[in-house]
Amino acid sequence: MAESEVFVHPKALCESDQVGAGTRVWAFAHIMKGAKVGKGCNVCDHAFIESGAVVGDRVTVKNSVLLWDAVTIEDEVFLGPNAVFTNDFTPRAHVRKSRDQFLPTRVRKGASIGANATIVCGITVGEYALVGAGAVVIRDVPDYALVVGNPARRVGWACRCGNKLPAGLACTCGLSYSLRGDRLSLNA
Amino acid sequence: MAESEVFVHPKALCESDQVGAGTRVWAFAHIMKGAKVGKGCNVCDHAFIESGAVVGDRVTVKNSVLLWDAVTIEDEVFLGPNAVFTNDFTPRAHVRKSRDQFLPTRVRKGASIGANATIVCGITVGEYALVGAGAVVIRDVPDYALVVGNPARRVGWACRCGNKLPAGLACTCGLSYSLRGDRLSLNA
Amino acid sequence: MAESEVFVHPKALCESDQVGAGTRVWAFAHIMKGAKVGKGCNVCDHAFIESGAVVGDRVTVKNSVLLWDAVTIEDEVFLGPNAVFTNDFTPRAHVRKSRDQFLPTRVRKGASIGANATIVCGITVGEYALVGAGAVVIRDVPDYALVVGNPARRVGWACRCGNKLPAGLACTCGLSYSLRGDRLSLNA
């Protein structure tokens, strides 16, 4: 396909007219009307993106990922297979809620969410953070943090390249970082 | 649609003739012949309801929920996205089992099962209990209990409205409760 | 159908020509071109098997299971509903990887993976091991081991029949085992 086109698999369902150029939507995936998906994304089989969800550019949405209204995914995020988000902290079938009662969730640029991770609503996952497979995230995740477990806790720091950083905070890929207080930042 | 009708999305597959009025079945969902689903339910994309499963009235079955034979969901239950049930405690591919060897599971009226929770078979989730996102439930959950973690443990009590109850057991919504032994009940 | 045929549900998508006789592929499941699936398997609704994945004979692939390139499933394995695998230990959306950078995962003959379990790449699940529902497996699992939790730890041993073995390592089904070091084996 031309770079400027959206590819929608014949067995997918794409109802949104706000999907960016070069994005591919695979079999049995469903993007609802009113969902925004950026350019160059890959939306894999059985993924679901609800009206109101916002997805940036060059995002990988692996199979069966579920994204809701009030969830924002920034550019170049990796959402692993079966990663699931929420937007209602106290769901009850008999209680009808309006959109302004949903708790917003944001995954910031370049972060990765591991396979089968659960992201409880109302939190922010920081830039280039790495949420381990199967983690249950119930609070904010700092930039570059590597978190695992249920509930998820920080067990280290992740490089932009994806590797866990060694104690000296210099990655084999060439990048290095500095820790000030409990905040990691990339060295210039 | 009229209140008395069942809505089945053109990309869904509803083979059961025991689905109640006003129930909606969304894209890529599959309800098998012999599954019972009550009135006014919402069965979201990619959900699967097997022959022999029983779902009450006004139940929310969020996306990708999987329900089997021997699972009973009572009225007004909320099943969060990707919540998964089981019916065989010791599954082996080479061992064929008959229906009477499945362990039954029941979710009682008004309870909520969080996103990506796993409900191991043979247990009962009590009325208005709230199972947190990502929890792995391996034993009975008392009425109104709030349970989280892997394995799930009780960390508090939930109000019918969905809020966590404060120490005094009186919710801001107006309802209050009493604890006798380890059993919570609603005050008249 | 005849034993020699493959059954593909009209709403499934089977693009592989390497699927064995007697295998059934159910609604909304997708087997990609280049995936190998053996004889007599059951591939349930919404399952996904990627190019490069290898599945043996008589394997149960329950609903919504996700299998990737570099994942090998041996004969008679049970993959519980929503069980998810991975092949990239350090996923980043902006980092393109070649196939030889994936970490291979193998599930050996007769093992069972519980519902909603997460299998982190690069490990082997041993013969007849039993991974509990909701477990997050991050290291090798010995033959016959019963593992649960996040991260998964061994809490006992499982018989070939699926039962947890009692202290004496003799199952009610008639089979008995011996432990040498930390390795369990079936008595002749």
CA distance A114 to A98: 30
Q: Give pLDDT, residue C108.
A: 98
| Distance, first Cα to last Cα, chain A | 38
> How high is the pLDDT of residue A153?
98
Residues B155-175: tens digit of each pLDDT: 999 999 999 999 999 999 999
Using the 8-state DSSP alphabet, how is residue C27 labeled? T
Other C-beta atoms lying within 10 Å of the C-beta of residue C182: 8
Say if the Cβ atoms of C116 and B120 lie within 8 Å. Answer: no
At residue A150, the 3 state secondary structure works out as coil
Which partners does chain B have (≥3 C-beta pairs < 8 Å)? A, C
Locate B31 and state its tokens: 């309800």
A156 confidence band (pLDDT: 50, 70, 90): very high
Q: Is the pLDDT of residue B1 over 70?
A: no
Strand order in the sheet with C24-25: C7-8, C24-25, C42-43, C60-61, C78-79, C112-113, C130-131, C145-148, C153-157
Paired strand residues for C122: none
What was the pLDDT predicted at C167? 95
* Length, in residues, of chain A: 188
Asked if residue A3 has pLDDT above 70, the reply is no
Residue B78 identity: F
Phi-psi region of A168 (alpha: psi -120 to 50; beta: other; left: phi over 0): alpha
Residue B150 to residue C134, Cβ atoms within 8 A? yes
A→C interface, C-beta within 8 Å: 11, 27-28, 45-46, 58-60, 63-64, 76-78, 80-82, 110, 112, 114-116, 130, 132-135, 148-150, 158, 160-164
pTM of the model: 0.97
Beta-bridged to residue C113, according to DSSP, are C79, C131
CB contact under 8 A, B93 and C80: no
Q: Are C81 and B66 in contact (CB under 8 A)?
A: yes
For residues B8-35, give the mean pLDDT: 98
Question: What residues of chain C have any CB closer than 8 angstroms to a CB in chain A?
Answer: 13, 28, 30, 46, 48, 64, 66, 82, 84-86, 89-95, 116, 118, 120, 136, 150-151
Reference A147, options A139, A135, A159; nearest CA is: A135
Residue C140 confidence (pLDDT): 98
Which band of pLDDT confidence, cut at 50, 70 and 90, is reported for residue B188? Answer: confident
Residues of chain B with Cβ-Cβ distance to C45 below 8 Å are 30, 48
pLDDT, residue A2, reads 58
**Residue A188, pLDDT score:** 87
Report the complex ipTM: 0.96
Distance CA C105, CA C94 (A): 24
Main-chain dihedrals φ then ψ at residue A24, nearest 5 degrees: -115, 135
Q: Rounded to an integer, what distance in angstroms lies between the CA atom of residue A140 and that of residue C60?
A: 38
Interatomic CA distance for residues B2 and C84, integer angstroms: 40
Report the C-alpha gap between B12 and A28 in whole angstroms. Answer: 11
pLDDT at C1 exceeding the cut of 80: no
How many CB atoms are closer than 10 A to CB A138?
18
Q: What residue ranges in C130-174 does DSSP mark as E strands?
A: 130-131, 136-137, 145-148, 153-157
Asked if A27's CB is within 8 angstroms of C84's CB, the reply is no
Q: Exposed e or buried b for every residue in A112-134, given b needs 16+ CB within 10 A?
A: bbbbbbbbbbbbbbbbbbbbbbb
pLDDT over 90, % of chain B: 97
Residue with tokens 């013969």: C127
Range with the poorest average pLDDT among A172-176, C2-6, C51-55 = C2-6
Count the Cβ atoms, other than its own, within 10 Å of residue C30. Answer: 25
Q: What is the C-alpha separation between C107 and C54, in angstroms, rounded?
A: 11
| C-alpha closest to that of B169 among B179, B180, B183 | B179
pLDDT tens for B79-119 read 999 999 999 999 999 999 999 999 999 999 999 999 999 99
Let me know: does B26 contact A66? Beta carbons within 8 Å: no
Measured distance CA(A5)–CA(C29) in Å, rounded: 27
pLDDT band at C72 (very low <50, low <70, confident <90, very high): very high
**pLDDT confidence of residue C188:** 87
The answer on pLDDT for B2 being more than 70 is no
Kindly report the average pLDDT of chain C as a whole number.
97
Model pLDDT, residue C14: 98
Task: Report the Cα B179 to chain-centroid distance in Å.
Answer: 25
Q: How many Å apart are CA C74 and CA B90, to the nearest integer? A: 19
Best residue of B9, B48, B138 to probe chain C, by most C CBs closer than 10 Å: B48
Whether the CB-CB separation of C66 and C87 falls below 8 Å is answered with no
In degrees and rounded to multiples of 5, residue A38 shows phi and psi of: -75, -160
Among A132, A88, A125, which residue's Cα sits nearest to residue A110? A125
- Mean pLDDT across A90-116: 97
